[in-house]
Amino acid sequence: MNNSLNEYTKNLRRDFVKTSFDEKDANNNPFKQFETWFEEAAKSNVNEPNGMVLSTVTKKGRPSSRIVLLRGLDDHGFNFFTNYESRKGTELKENPYASLLFFWPELERQVRIEGKVVKAPANISDEYFSLRPRESRIGACASPQSKVLKNRHELEKMVDAINAKYSEDVPRPKNWGGYILKATYYEFWQGRQSRLHDRICYNLKNKKWVKQRLAP
């Protein structure tokens, strides 16, 4: 292990001083609160404000995480798209519960969202797929996502084959489409000085949202 890097990680410090977040300022509807923070992130020129960590779990309880992009949201539903046969697709089939994490360091904020994931209706997947650039549609058709490849050239040959097959419109492959996470838990984190952060969570109980403050 690089000892200097090891020491660097132990001693790396920065304080959070931008703002605060109190229960009385938090919207009683966590989805509305998310919309407010998301809009503020977008207006603050945060890099990829819709980038989120998606964490899934196998049926044996082993977690895995990756960055995906939020591609739609409506009434506590958060949309993303992928290959249904990818690792995350396989894990969601085994265990449909997942979490999302948005981190906006420029605003010293993060949002955790948990819930059950369902497949999006085909028309939603078709609509989004049609909006993607041709190169992205070709890539979605060609790539056997998460499968082992011999080398880069093997992937490029697959892309060339799909490109030759579809001279004009590229149809959405049946193994590619959308998911919607239906939120049952939110947590809004605002960085504060001395690690005394503000954490406001919302739990869905008896179809009502219960708002509480958590210790940092």
pLDDT exceeds cutoff 80 at 13:
no
User: Does a structural domain hold residue 4?
Assistant: no
pLDDT exceeds cutoff 90 at 15:
no
pLDDT of amino acid 202: 98
Q: How many domains does the chain have?
A: 1
pLDDT of amino acid 11: 80
Residue 42 C-beta-side C-alpha neighbours within 13 Å: 8
pLDDT of amino acid 127: 97
pLDDT of amino acid 10: 76
Q: What is the mean pLDDT of residues 69-76?
A: 96
Q: What is the mean pLDDT of residues 28-52?
A: 97
pLDDT of amino acid 2: 64
**Cα–Cα distance measured from residue 176 to residue 190, given in angstroms and rounded to the nearest whole number:** 36
pLDDT exceeds cutoff 80 at 59:
yes
pLDDT exceeds cutoff 80 at 12:
no
User: Does a structural domain hold residue 154?
Assistant: no
Tens-digit pLDDT profile for residues 90-138: 999 999 999 999 999 999 999 999 999 999 999 999 999 999 999 999 9
User: Does a structural domain hold residue 187?
Assistant: yes
CATH code, domain with 88: 2.30.110.10
The parent domain of residue 77 ranges over: 14-132+174-214
**Cα–Cα distance measured from residue 108 to residue 110, given in angstroms and rounded to the nearest whole number:** 7
pLDDT exceeds cutoff 90 at 140:
yes
pLDDT exceeds cutoff 60 at 1:
no
User: Does a structural domain hold residue 199?
Assistant: yes
User: How are the residues of the chain apportioned to helix, strand and coil, as percentages rounded to the nearest 5?
Assistant: 35, 35, 35
CB 160 within 8 A of CB 135: no
pLDDT of amino acid 204: 97
pLDDT exceeds cutoff 90 at 171:
yes
pLDDT exceeds cutoff 90 at 14:
no
E-state strands within 33-104: 51-57, 63-69, 73-74, 77-83, 97-104
Q: What is the mean pLDDT of residues 174-194?
A: 97
pLDDT of amino acid 8: 79
User: Does a structural domain hold residue 140?
Assistant: no
User: Does a structural domain hold residue 25?
Assistant: yes
pLDDT of amino acid 4: 87
Q: What is the mean pLDDT of residues 29-36?
A: 98
